[in-house]
Amino acid sequence: MNNILEVDSIQTFIGQFHILEGVSLEVPESSITALLGRNGAGKTTTLKSILGLTPPREGRVVFAGKDVRGQRPYDIAALGIGYVPENRAIFRALTVEENLKIAERKKGDLARRAEMIFGLFPDLKRLIKLSGGQLSGGQQQMLAIARALVPDNRLILIDEPSEGLAPILIEQLMESIRSLSAHTTILLVEQNFRMASQLADRYYLIDDGRTVKQGAMKELVNDRATVHRYLGAA
Amino acid sequence: MLKRNWLYIALLAALIVLPYALALVAGEPLDKGVPLFGQGLMVQVFIFAVFALSYDILMGHTGILSFGHALFFGTGAYTLGILVKYGHWSILAAVGAVIAIAALESLLIGVLSLRVHGVYFAMVTLAFATVGSILVEATDFRDWTGAEDGLHGIPVPDLLNPALHRTEFYFLSLAFAVIVFLLVKRFVDSPAGRVWAAIRENEARAISIGYNTLIFKVQATIIAGVLAALAGALYALWNLSATPLTMDVSTTINALLMTIIGGSGTLIGPMLGAGVLQLLGYFLNTWLGSVWQLVFGLIYVLLVLFLPFGIVGTWRARGGSWRAAWSEQLGKWRGVLKLAKRR
Amino acid sequence: MVNRNLILTLLVLVLLLALALGGLGASTAASVLLSGITLGALYFLVASGVSLIFGLMDVLNFAHGSLFMLGAYAGWTIYTNPRLILNTAPLALIVIAGAAFGGIFAARFAVPRWARWLAALIAIAILVLAVRGLPVDKLVAMGATMTGKVIPTSQAEEPIGAMLVRVGIAFVAGLAASFAMSPRGRAETPSSTRRALATAVVIAAAALAILLLRDAGEQAILGMENNARFVLALGFGAATGALIGALMEWGLIRPLYARPIYQILLTLGLVFVFDQVIRLIYGPAGAFMDIPSLFAGSGNNCPSPDLFAWFSQHCDSILVLGRPFPSYRLFIIAIGVVMLVAVALILQRSRLGMIIRAGVQDSEMVEALGINVRRVFTLVFALGAGLAGLGGVVAAPFLGVYPEMAMEFLLQAFIVVVIGGLGSIPGAAVGALLVGLARAYGDNIVLAGIQLPGMTSAISGSPAIARASTVLIMAIVLLIKPTGIFGKKE
């Protein structure tokens, strides 16, 4: 299996603070890889570093065989990376349709993929004329994922999708993400270990800005000690 | 005490000796030629040092960005001029009036403008100051302000006449600058000064601790406004006139420039900046003629781009040692070399 | 929410207007009203840019009034004295070409701060060398630009050879400048290198073409029919504003996004620099620009009885309720309305507008979608600056051109955006209208004088009082709703 993304011991500073002190990971194509760790371990910063939103000072970020570290976020994203941030970042002043349309990289991206997107999230079709600010949290999350599906993305970074959602919505969301993986590769940051363990094939554990453990998800599920040590009670 | 402040004390001593040293070197009496002229130049340095210092209270210590500081400088100059020339007030009474009027004006503008933050505040203060400069140039008040020509021929007692008693005026303005410096240092080190600093660092936090930050900000605005007006009043005495230039945006830009050259938030920095700027201005003016103002503007732009922390700020950031500064620069240089090799 | 504000504001406005104008006769009232809308249209052209730029990139551009002034000077100069432009524009363009070309190399190094200083100083030194002795004063002396001493073009211009040398030196200055301004050690993509190269080549070619065709160009422009020349002036003023705005964003403001306070310190400094440059070239005195003949007719049947008659007569004024009103001012109103509609259409209907509306909220997310936000920033800055430049040219036949117009319009634009709320285009429109009307009404009162009951004679004043009085509206708005009528919570 080919790796679509390879991150090699990146070091990231935010202001004076050394946030990532050597994170490494590999994401095989057409898989779901989970990035796990405690609050403040550096999971979100890792995603942002991949995209160049918080550019790493050292290390390598290789996407589809190309070292992208140091490039502008828009250049990196345009290579085919979608981003679903923690706060969803739905544009409130834009309608749902515009929120999708703005993600187009080629004219007609949305029309081409409308069937797939609305197949995954049938609710969005009904809400298409509403403004982003009028959506509920769950709807915003769907829209944020749908937005990452509009262009031809080979990798989607999803940050804490379950945060702040009701259990029933989380079930729906898991279903959507699972069927998504048929179309693209996913790097998932998730606090909800149960959700992550059911979705992901592989995992990376980071702690204090370093990768500390990696492997198949099935093994981690049975490794209670590790889960307890790095993720707290689970 | 002495050890920590030796730089300040040496500077003060040098300034006290300066007129006599000039006289000695030039071989001319104190009230003629080079010494006379040199003192005149320094008087302006002292006046603008106070003006810059008052600006630093806002920008450097409270984190308020005002673009209307010239309003207070001009208010001081015109208040003194009008009261002394047309009201036949004594200088002392006029200075008292300057303080009162400036305090009232800064209270009013502070209360109005401080309802908004950051860039809004800069914008609103600039608007108020522009109104001030429009009004002093308006033909309606020509009898009082002299409109675009300015107010000239302020009558002062001989003892205060800068043309007749230059050395006395030199020491008067030096004393003024020193007193204001010590005063502001006390303010900044006082409990209120610490609240100012807290506002500068993070206003939301200062509020959450329980401070009514508006009161402290208005307080800073008033102190800064009064000091700027006093500097303006002294400027009017020095020139025996008050001109629209004292209210002009370029005067605010001057204060900004001095603060940035010296380093904001350092107190002594802006005063040094005033020195650098005034002396540089004089030499550029004699050297380049009317282009010098443009050169000035360009220097300002370059400073903002490349030396944002000023002389004193940069010095302090490096622990007050050129060696540290050099080694840091060299370290950067090594980084460049390494980078070049890897490519 | 916005709608409620809008209705409320309009109601208060109408009420105030009715009260204010009630005391005047119908024809005076109409004239004051139209004058107010005229000024409002000009204020909108400045304020909308300020608002747009602040909304998207959080930069409050204090130099926006200066862009208005520069636009006015540029339009007026190409209208009356094109040779000045034709002889100086190539130098300015070639510096840009040099900077674009040098940027390709400069971007490959992490230029340390001291080297930036050095590069900036070298660039300025070379630039001074390039323009030293350029006979600007002779080039300025022509026709309406300077009455009395006209110097023929053949004597005013430098020989083409000398100009080419200057162009060469200026190119080197641009190269040096690129090292002062280059982003910190960013990896450039091949496509951006190609783009930069293409930009440099196109601009350099344009510079050379203008220089080589300068005499023919002058003949052609001066030979144009005056209405066509006026349209050219409008376009040129807008383009100058847009170009200077784009350069400002790209070269000066972009390096400072990490230090926002310094951005506005910088733009305030530019106010001063632009003011000095204009005074250096044209002197402190202002000048008038002719009203194009379309709005300057004066036949037997003038003033035109109504707008329809005007379309065939082109009179300098039109009767409004029996009182003549200058037709050129109606043109200003038309331009203001057209630009308002254009801006609204761009924001609501185009992809650029969609990106702007999204970027106002979260420009990082827009970037993460693969959209080149930097380019959008530059574009919006250019758009706002272009509106201001256009406004300057439109204002020139009405108010003249003079250096102080920069501060004057900056002041009014600030009052407008404080009233309307920064970042809101409807706010800018309503604010501009309000300030314009207040100003016109103030002018009327101040000139006619106020006579309150019990006063023996009316107090009258100069227009300066009316100009200053608009700040009162700002003070009132600050007291009632500090974020402005359409402003969101801070």
Alpha carbon B1 to chain centroid, angstroms: 27
Nearest Cα of chain B lies from the Cα of C483 at a distance, in angstroms, of 7
Q: Can you give the pLDDT at residue C456?
A: 67
Among A147-161, A220-234, B43-57, C353-367, which stretch is predicted with the lowest mean pLDDT? Answer: A220-234
Question: Which of C369, C373, C486 should be substituted to probe chain A, the one whose Cβ sees the most A Cβ atoms within 10 Å?
Answer: C369
Residues 6+ apart with CB under 8 A from B318: B324, B325, B328
Band of the pLDDT at B75, cuts 50, 70, 90?
A: very high
Q: What is the pLDDT of residues B153-172, one digit of tens each?
A: 888 887 788 877 888 899 99
Q: What is the pLDDT of residues B105-120, one digit of tens each?
A: 999 999 888 888 777 8
Contacts of A98 in chain C (CB under 8 A): 354
C138, C82 contact by CB (below 8 A): no
Average pLDDT estimate for B3-17? 82
Average pLDDT estimate for A144-165? 92
In a domain, C66, yes or no: yes
Does the distance separating the beta carbons of B250 and C272 come in below 8 Å? yes
Average pLDDT estimate for A8-25? 88
Report helix, strand or coil for A155. strand
Q: Can you give the pLDDT at residue A41?
A: 87
Sign (positive or negative) of CA dihedral C269, C275, C281, C284: negative
Query: CA C478 to CA C296: how far, in whole Å?
Result: 42
Band of the pLDDT at C406, cuts 50, 70, 90?
A: very high
* DSSP at B62: I
Facing residues of A159 across strands? A189
Does the distance separating the beta carbons of B135 and C468 come in below 8 Å? yes
Q: What is the pLDDT of residues B13-51, one digit of tens each?
A: 888 888 888 888 888 887 778 888 889 899 999 999 999
* DSSP at A15: T
Does the distance separating the beta carbons of B138 and C464 come in below 8 Å? yes
Query: CA C381 to CA C241: how far, in whole Å?
Result: 10
Q: Write out residues 118-137 of B within 8 Å (CB-CB) of C.
A: 119-120, 122-124, 126-128, 130-131, 134-135, 137
Report helix, strand or coil for B154. coil
Average pLDDT estimate for B191-203? 86
The pTM (predicted TM-score) of the whole model is 0.88
Q: What is the pLDDT of residues C36-79, one digit of tens each?
A: 999 999 999 999 999 999 988 888 899 999 999 999 999 999 99
- For A3-80+154-231, CATH gives 3.40.50.300
Domain boundaries, chain B: 6-308, 310-343
Average pLDDT estimate for A34-60? 91
Interior angle at CA A20, CA A22 and CA B342, nearest 5: 55
For chain A, give the mean pLDDT: 90
- Domain(s) of CATH 3.40.50.300: residues in chain A: 3-80+154-231
Query: CA C126 to CA B320: how far, in whole Å?
Result: 34
B and C: number of Cβ contacts within 8 A: 144
* DSSP at B242: E
* pLDDT higher at B140 or A177: A177
Per residue, what are the HEC states of chain C?
CHHHHHHHHHHHHHHHHHHHHHCCCHHHHHHHHHHHHHHHHHHHHHHHHHHHHHHHHCCCCCCHHHHHHHHHHHHHHHHHCHHHHHHHHHHHHHHHHHHHHHHHHHCCCCCCHHHHHHHHHHHHHHHHHHHCCCCHHHHHCCHHHCCCCCCCHHHHCCCHHHHHHHHHHHHHHHHHHHHHHCCCCCCCCHHHHHHHHHHHHHHHHHHHHHHHCHHHHHHHHHCCCHHHHHHHHHHHHHHHHHHHHHHHHHHHHHHHCCCHHHHHHHHHHHHHHHHHHHHHHHCCCCECCCCCHHHCECCCCCCECCHHHHHHHCECEEEECCEEEEHHHHHHHHHHHHHHHHHHHHHHHCHHHHHHHHHHHCHHHHHHCCCCHHHHHHHHHHHHHHHHHHHHHHHHHHHCECCCHHHHHHHHHHHHHHHHCCCCHHHHHHHHHHHHHHHHHHHHHHHHCECCCCCCCCECCCHHHHHHHHHHHHHHHHHHCCCCCCCCCC
Contacts of B67 in chain C (CB under 8 A): 62, 268
Among A35-39, B108-112, B175-179, C181-185, which stretch is predicted with the lowest mean pLDDT? Answer: C181-185
Q: What is the pLDDT of residues B119-134, one digit of tens each?
A: 788 888 988 998 898 8
Among A121-135, C4-18, C250-264, C295-309, which stretch is predicted with the lowest mean pLDDT? Answer: C4-18
Nearest to B67, CA basis, from B151, B133, B150: B133
In a domain, C285, yes or no: yes
| B301 touching chain C per CB within 8 A | yes
For chain C, give the mean pLDDT: 86
Query: CA B76 to CA C390: how far, in whole Å?
Result: 40
| B211 touching chain C per CB within 8 A | no
Q: Which tokens hold the place of C105? A: 């190399």
In a domain, C404, yes or no: yes
Band of the pLDDT at B249, cuts 50, 70, 90?
A: confident
Helix (H) / strand (E) element for B250: namely helix B249-262
B151-152 and A66-67 strand pairing: unpaired
Query: CA B116 to CA B219: how far, in whole Å?
Result: 16
Residues 6+ apart with CB under 8 A from C93: C203, C204, C206, C207, C210
Evaluate if residue C343 carries a pLDDT over 90. yes
Widest distance between CA atoms in chain B: 77
Q: Tell me the ipTM for this assembly.
A: 0.93
| Residue type at C478 in one-letter notation | L
Nearest to B238, CA basis, from B83, B57, B86, B91: B91
Q: How many residues does chain C have?
A: 490
* DSSP at B58: I
Contacts of C465 in chain B (CB under 8 A): 135, 138, 140
| A72 touching chain C per CB within 8 A | yes
Q: Which tokens hold the place of B109? A: 């503008």
C62, C194 contact by CB (below 8 A): no
Radius of gyration for the alpha carbons in chain C, expressed in angstroms and rounded: 24
Evaluate if residue C214 carries a pLDDT over 70. yes
Nearest to C112 among B126, B260, B332 (CB): B332
Share of residues in chain C with pLDDT > 70 (%): 91
Evaluate if residue B314 carries a pLDDT over 50. yes
Kindly list the distances between the CA atom of residue C209 and the CA atoms of C94, C163, C243, in Å, as whole numbers in the listed order. 11, 13, 18
Q: Can you give the pLDDT at residue C189?
A: 64
Q: Write out residues 181-210 of A within 8 Å (CB-CB) of C.
A: none
Query: CA C265 to CA C270: how far, in whole Å?
Result: 9
Contacts of C370 in chain A (CB under 8 A): 74-75, 77-78, 103, 105, 151
Query: CA A75 to CA C318: how far, in whole Å?
Result: 56
Facing residues of B151 across strands? B242
Ranked by mean pLDDT, the top range of A199-208, B315-324, C251-260 is A199-208
Evaluate if residue B53 carries a pLDDT over 70. yes
Q: What is the pLDDT of residues C379-397, one digit of tens each?
A: 999 999 999 999 999 999 9
- Cα dihedral angle (A99, A100, A104, A109), rounded to 10 degrees? -160
Q: Which tokens hold the place of C32? A: 């004051």
Query: CA C32 to CA C330: how far, in whole Å?
Result: 13
* pLDDT higher at A1 or C353: C353
Q: Can you give the pLDDT at residue B267?
A: 83
Q: Can you give the pLDDT at residue B333?
A: 31
* DSSP at B290: G
Q: How far apart are the first and last CA of chain C?
A: 16
Q: Which domain holds residue C419?
A: 2-293+325-448+460-480
Band of the pLDDT at B330, cuts 50, 70, 90?
A: very low
Q: Write out residues 25-44 of B within 8 Å (CB-CB) of C.
A: none
Ranked by mean pLDDT, the top range of B228-237, C111-120, C444-453 is B228-237
Nearest to B277, CA basis, from B242, B251, B248, B238: B251
Band of the pLDDT at C331, cuts 50, 70, 90?
A: very high
Among A1-15, B3-17, B265-279, C432-446, which stretch is predicted with the lowest mean pLDDT? Answer: B3-17
Q: Can you give the pLDDT at residue C6?
A: 66
Any chains having at least 3 CB pairs less than 8 A from chain C are A, B
Among B53-57, C282-286, C362-366, C467-471, which stretch is predicted with the lowest mean pLDDT? Answer: C467-471
Q: Can you give the pLDDT at residue B336?
A: 30
Q: Can you give the pLDDT at residue C488?
A: 59
Band of the pLDDT at A83, cuts 50, 70, 90?
A: very high
Nearest Cα of chain C lies from the Cα of A105 at a distance, in angstroms, of 8
Q: Can you give the pLDDT at residue B322?
A: 45
Average pLDDT estimate for C231-249? 96
In a domain, C301, yes or no: no
Among A164-168, B314-318, C180-184, C300-304, which stretch is predicted with the lowest mean pLDDT? Answer: B314-318
Query: CA B319 to CA B330: how far, in whole Å?
Result: 16
As separate numbers, helices (DSSP H) first and strands (DSSP E) second, chain A gives: 10, 10
Report the residue of chain C nearest B298, measured CA to CA. C273
CATH architecture for segment(s) B6-308: Orthogonal Bundle (1.10)
Q: What is the pLDDT of residues C434-463, one digit of tens each?
A: 899 888 888 887 777 666 666 666 666 777
Evaluate if residue C192 carries a pLDDT over 80. no
Q: Can you give the pLDDT at residue C450?
A: 65
Total number of domains constituting chain C:
1
Evaluate if residue A13 carries a pLDDT over 90. no
* pLDDT higher at B264 or C374: C374
Q: Which tokens hold the place of A86? A: 């923690």
